[in-house]
Amino acid sequence: MKGLIVDVMGDDCTNHGVTSGKDRALLVGEGIPEIFEADDMPILKIVPGYGSREYMAIPYDCDISKTYAMFGGHFIYSCDGRFPYDHPIHVHDRFETQEEYNEYSK
């Protein structure tokens, strides 16, 4: 799979999300140039956001229709001119079921 290598930035409050402890990720999805291969880094895909977020990044293999996407403090960005956004993108890199959400929210 090919995409664009991006920097992972921000505070790690991911509760062991896929970007925890990582400083780079491979970004794939519509509008993302297919240039680099993933080399021992998480693969994130761009999906429509919600609220005030136009887009967000999630793990490539996650189905957000079955769980809650959780923002854990990380953003992705690249100074590569082929990065199609002019601002960092929120990473929702961990998912919770309704039961997990209820338990963690106590």
**What is the residue extent of each domain of the chain?**
2-104
Q: pLDDT digits over 4-62, tens only? A: 999 999 998 888 889 999 999 999 998 899 999 988 899 999 988 766 678 899 999 88
* Amino acid 15: pLDDT: 82
What are the tens digits of pLDDT across the range 48-92? Answer: 876 667 889 999 988 777 677 788 999 999 999 999 999 999 999
Give the global pTM: 0.85
Torsional sign, CA 9, 11, 14, 20: positive
Q: Report phi then psi at 84, rounded to 5.
A: -85, 10
Query: How far, CA to CA in Å, does 65 sit from each of 53, 68, 70?
Result: 17, 8, 13
